[in-house]
């Protein structure tokens, strides 16, 4: 048997689904075909992107991450980033739809909206977007509106988009079944979302996997004891001593390059640095110390790939924000400042979403680095590749 291209990628099916709600056959208007085709193309790329992120999360979140897993993590994150970049390029194409073109068929959309793109919501969830960020977004949205209560109808979408979509799906199924209509597409969507949520519930987010991996990063010559080691255990105390010593040395080096008291205080707050009044738990403190260590000694061969992982995650965050910005600029070009079909206040809301952040610490750490020539050699440095300079130790 020979296999053909059209069979392998199921081209017949792929090219038969641009019919909107009317079907069968393509929608009549070229403008509407443009609109549907671009949405579908982005959803396919989202699918690939989510697969890459889940692969990276799986590798990083394992209890043991071997050295040779690092290039794989970098590969998966690199592909995820490229996928996101490709979706951003789609908006340049989409915005060639003029406002009048869109008006020709906008009524057909009814209340459907990209806000219901559950793959995009899964992406936010899988990355690990925190509830604090969502609440802050809502606070800022209400502050921007002349009548804050105008945000109310859209609030469930701001605070819990996947939950809001699930409620809409359930209501839709009930309505359809009451009218004897086929609800298979809604049931498929419900099942898809549930599967995605279960996956994140059991496997965690990219952020939690990254933290787990960072927590175990060797710092100087110390590796943390296995999970569940009691805090009065000697190995635990020794690791904590080395890490805090490293951080304290760092701060002293910072002072030598002119950090003022205010900056030192802010750095101590961010790093915890073993301070009595620190609000950080040990897990967070060690994760941040690991970030500091990797970003500082980035040119040691054994830290080059971990640094690359961080770089890819920073890029992912940047691209997610660019995606939101490119989408907002495209939307304003097509609908101006009208409200969206999904019930949001439109542009004001979309612009605020650009500030959502999943990994702010990865940026914060970059604001407190000391120059290359102020770094010092630490015990066990040879294990990371080569020596940098004089050995005056952090031990």
Q: Under the rule (CB under 6 A), what is the footprint of ligand HEM?
A: 38-39, 42, 94, 97, 102, 113-115, 117, 120, 327, 331, 334-335, 340-344, 346, 349-350, 353
CB atoms within 10 A of CB 247: 24
Q: Which residue, 296 or 344, has its beta carbon nearer to ligand HEM?
A: 344
* Least distance between ligand HEM and beta carbon 103 (Å): 11
358 vs 368 by CB, closer to ligand HEM? 358
| Cβ at position 50, least distance to ligand HEM in Å | 13
**Closer of 46 and 293 to ligand HEM (Cβ):** 46
Beta carbon nearer to ligand HEM, 92 or 366: 92
Comparing CA positions, the residue from 372, 356, 364, 227 lying closest to residue 291 is 364
Contacts of 132 (CB under 8 A, 6+ apart): none
Residue for token pair 């206040």? 345
Instruction: Please state the closest distance from residue 240 (CB atom) to ligand HEM, in A.
Output: 40
How far apart are CB 79 and ligand HEM at their closest, in Å? 19
- Name which of 286 and 327 has its Cβ closer to ligand HEM: 327
* Nearest-approach distance from CB 42 to ligand HEM, in angstroms: 4
Closest CA to 106 of 183, 166, 32, 171: 32
297-301: list long-range contacts, CB under 8 Å, 24+ apart.
297/375, 297/384, 297/388, 300/381, 300/384, 300/385, 300/386, 300/388, 301/384, 301/385, 301/386
Minimum Å gap between C-beta 158 and ligand HEM is: 7
Nearer to ligand HEM, 40 or 223 (CB): 40
C-beta closer to ligand HEM: residue 97 or 300: 97
Tell me whether residue 114 or residue 156 sits nearer to ligand HEM (CB atom): 114
- Give 74 or 348: the residue with its C-beta nearer to ligand HEM: 348
- Give me the least distance between CB of 369 and ligand HEM, in Å please: 32
Residue 308 CB, shortest distance to ligand HEM, in Å, is: 29
Nearest-approach distance from CB 342 to ligand HEM, in angstroms = 3
């Amino acid at each position: 048997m020979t296999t053909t291209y059209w069979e392998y990628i199921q081209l017949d099916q792929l090219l038969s689904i641009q019919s909107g709600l009317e079907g069968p056959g393509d929608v009549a208007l070229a403008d509407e075909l443009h609109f549907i085709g671009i949405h579908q193309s982005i959803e396919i790329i989202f699918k690939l992107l989510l697969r890459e992120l889940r692969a990276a999360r799986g590798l990083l979140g394992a209890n043991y991450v071997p050295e040779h897993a690092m290039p794989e993590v970098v590969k998966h994150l690199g592909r995820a980033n490229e996928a996101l970049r490709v979706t951003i390029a789609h908006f340049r194409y989409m915005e060639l739809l003029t406002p009048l073109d869109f008006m020709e068929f906008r009524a057909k959309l009814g209340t459907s909206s990209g806000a219901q793109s559950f793959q995009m919501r899964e992406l936010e969830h899988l990355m690990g977007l925190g509830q604090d960020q969502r609440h802050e977004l809502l606070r800022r949205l209400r502050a921007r509106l002349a009548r804050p209560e105008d945000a109310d109808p859209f609030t469930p979408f701001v605070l819990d988009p996947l939950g809001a979509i699930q409620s809409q799906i359930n209501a839709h199924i009930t309505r359809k079944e009451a009218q004897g209509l086929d609800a298979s597409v809604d049931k498929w969507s419900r099942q898809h979302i549930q599967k995605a949520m279960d996956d994140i519930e059991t496997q965690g987010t990219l952020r939690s996997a990254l933290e787990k991996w960072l927590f175990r990063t060797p710092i100087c010559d110390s590796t943390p004891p296995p999970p569940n080691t009691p805090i009065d255990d000697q190995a635990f105390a020794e690791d904590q001593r080395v890490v805090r010593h490293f951080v304290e040395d760092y701060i002293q080096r910072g002072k030598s390059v002119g950090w003022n008291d205010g900056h030192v205080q802010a750095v101590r707050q961010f790093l915890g640095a073993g301070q009595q009044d620190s609000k950080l738990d040990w897990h967070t403190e060690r994760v941040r110390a690991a970030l500091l260590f990797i970003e500082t000694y980035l040119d040691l061969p054994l830290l080059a790939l971990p640094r690359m992982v961080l770089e890819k995650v920073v890029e992912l965050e940047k691209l997610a924000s660019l995606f939101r910005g490119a989408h907002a600029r495209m939307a304003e070009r097509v609908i101006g400042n009208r409200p969206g079909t999904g019930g949001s206040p439109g542009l004001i809301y979309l612009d605020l979403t650009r500030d959502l952040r999943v990994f702010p610490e990865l940026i914060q750490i970059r604001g407190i680095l000391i120059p290359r020539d102020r770094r010092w050699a630490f015990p066990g440095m040879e294990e990371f590749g080569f020596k940098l300079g004089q050995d005056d130790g952090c031990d």
